[in-house]
Amino acid sequence: MNSHNDYDLYQAIAEKIQAGRTIAMATIVSTKGSVPRGVGAKMLIDPGEDLVGTVGGGCGEGEVIEAALEVIKTGEPQMVRVDLTEDLLSLSPAVCGGTMEIFVEAIGE
């Protein structure tokens, strides 16, 4: 994530917290094989509102969003393993074929 995107992400966090919202932050903490984003990539999840940043898109990002909703509800952080190796069976040329460990934590109230 470049510094411009980091600025947008942290500005969005500040705005959400000032508005009294509880949000989730997902951060890629490890990768193996070919994946769409690297370690340190972040995504902010605000239920019913928006996403800021990305951890790779597609089905894997959907898993992270589901976990984020649970994290916001319970306040308990989660580690999500996104396995893109099953995508190798796909005929799509845009196949990654790696795995990512993504830490999801609640921010705010």
As beta bridge partners, residue 104 has: 26, 78
Q: Which pLDDT belongs to residue 94?
A: 53
- The β-bridge relationship of strands 78-83 and 99-107 is antiparallel
Model pLDDT for residues 86-109, shown as the tens digit of each residue? 654 555 555 567 899 999 999 987
Q: Provide the residue ranges of all domains of the chain, joining segments of one domain with +.
A: 3-107
- Greatest extent of the chain over all pairs of C-alpha atoms, in Å: 46
Model pLDDT for residues 43-90, shown as the tens digit of each residue? 999 998 889 999 987 778 899 999 999 999 999 999 999 988 765 455
Beta strands in 33-98 (DSSP E): 42-46, 50-53, 78-83
pTM of the model: 0.85
